[in-house]
Amino acid sequence: MKKLFAEFFGTFWLVFGGCGSAVFAAGFPGLGIGFVGVALAFGLTVLTMAYAVGHISGGHFNPAVSLGLWAGGKFPAKDLLGYIIAQLIGAIAAAGVLYLILSGKSGFIDIGGFAANGYGELSPDGYSMTSALIAEFVLTAFFLLVILGSTNERVPKGFAPIAIGLALTLIHLISIPITNTSVNPARSTSQALFAGGEFTAQLWLFWLAPIAGAIVAGFIHKTLFDKE
């Protein structure tokens, strides 16, 4: 249960900090943090919670990461369901808190896109479904390669959260204009549930592509990089 609570709180912080920065601060009149600020916020959420609770649960905070670690031989299959459920609950709880805060703003009408992920008309810069699929697959695969490599037993201890946080920052710098950046099905699900409409209809891509990329990366690491 400690591991599941750690995954809950870690995923909550990722969504609250990352999506919160996009919803509240990215375009703040005259002093918004922009794409760079949002990218950094997502990286910082993972970095801080990896240090805070990573020693308890491994610091996945992402169903694709859990499945990629399983594919890489670093995580038992019996724990997958519990981790994924805890991550989803944490993400949805965070989105709920973000909604409560946003709805209390003076003149509130609706939540808009709510930092949800999308392609086509829902892509921030109009990228197609194919573009989104490729981007999410490739970026999640490389994210897992960074995670698996930086946490390998042959690597100096204590630095993995820095590499992982910076990798997630870089991923967002690349792909916010394409899909609003997912690489995390829990993060995508939580925002789509509140944004509704076509965001929910497009949610399948943000499960399929990240999970496929993560599993491929897990097998690549296990085959090519995990042996002397």
Q: Kindly report, residue by residue over 55-99, the tens digit of the pLDDT.
A: 999 999 999 999 999 999 999 999 999 999 999 999 999 999 999
Listed by start position, the domains of the chain span: 2-225
- Mean pLDDT, the chain, rounded, equals 96
- Report the half-sphere exposure of 127 (CA within 13 A, side-chain side): 20
Per-residue pLDDT reduced to its tens digit, 121-157: 999 999 999 999 999 999 999 999 999 999 998 888 8
Read off the pLDDT band of 173 (50, 70, 90).
very high
Domain 2-225 matching CATH 1.20.1080.10: the answer reads yes
Residue 221 pLDDT > 90:
yes
Of 43-47, 151-155, 198-202, which gets the smallest average pLDDT? 151-155
Residue 153 has a pLDDT of 87
Query: Mean pLDDT over residues 26-41, rounded?
Result: 92
The sign of the torsion formed by the CA atoms of 44, 49, 50, 52 equals positive
Query: Mean pLDDT over residues 192-207, rounded?
Result: 97
Residue 156 has a pLDDT of 87
Residue 104 pLDDT > 70:
yes
Residue 188 pLDDT > 90:
yes
Residue 228 pLDDT > 90:
no
How many angstroms separate the most distant Cα atoms in the chain? 61
Helical packing angle, 2-14 and 80-103, nearest 10°: 40
* Amino acid present at 23: V
